Amino acid sequence: MDFSGRHVVVTGGTGALGTAVVGALLGAGAACTVPYAIEAEAQRFAHAGDPNVKLIAVGDLGDEGDVAKVYAGLSTASGLWASIHIAGGFAMGKVADTGKAALMAQLDTNLISCFLCCRAAVNAMRGGGRIVNVAARPALEWRSGAGMAAYTVAKAGVAALTVALAEEGAKDGILVNAVAPSILDTPANRAAMPKADFDAWPKVEEVAATILFLASPENKVTGGAVVPVYGKS
């Protein structure tokens, strides 16, 4: 896949999955804008010194002003080619134990941020482009969202947004898709679930490969898909 001369925004790019995605994009010739909110992640980001990476500190991707700062100037010249939205957050909690503040936090972190970045990306693209969102397994399998209802609602919204926006963007050559991972094999998840079968979890490099194809010029026809990336789990 060739991203030479193409600009890509990757939200959540300093996290485990994001780092794999940015690395694959750089290897394919892309220039990447990577917003970040956690300074420690930015400091240990493996691609921080790459000349084709622009790191931008943001407070909140659920804020329109912060999102505008990320996409500022990307509508000029050849425009933005792709926008990949990995940023989000997870929280457990049964419905009985989840108040409005906790629900809104999950909506802001996962759905609102994705919506605002999708809007900015569509407005920055010239002559077509690609958008890839990150949903989650509970977004497709609602029963599996028991005990994490607010997160499930937010990620189900990301899936619905993806399909609706795909219909809007198709006529302009903008293909919009999402991936829906199960539990990713990351150091943080291994630490949280030390007795789990790690071999069954999808690896970040494997999920990154699916994201890269959906965001690539080689993807000429796939839009409106929410692709399960579950590995063996």
| Residues catalogued as catalytic | 151
The torsion defined by the Cα of 31, 32, 33 and 34, in degrees rounded to 10, comes to: -160
- The 10 Å Cβ neighbour count of residue 40 is 9
Q: Which residues neighbour 160 within 8 Å (Cβ) at sequence distance 6 or greater?
A: none
Q: How many residues does the chain have?
A: 233
Radius of gyration of the chain (CA): 17
Amino acid at 101: A
Return the SS3 of 18: helix
Greatest C-alpha distance within the chain: 51
- The 10 Å Cβ neighbour count of residue 94 is 11
- Alpha helices (H) in 13-99, listed in sequence order: 16-27, 39-43, 64-71
Phi, psi (degrees; rounded to nearest 5) at 195: -100, 5
Query: How many helices (H) and strands (E) in the chain?
Result: 9, 7
Residues 173 and 19: their CA atoms lie apart, in Å, by: 27
Q: Are strands 53-57 and 31-36 parallel, antiparallel or unpaired?
A: parallel
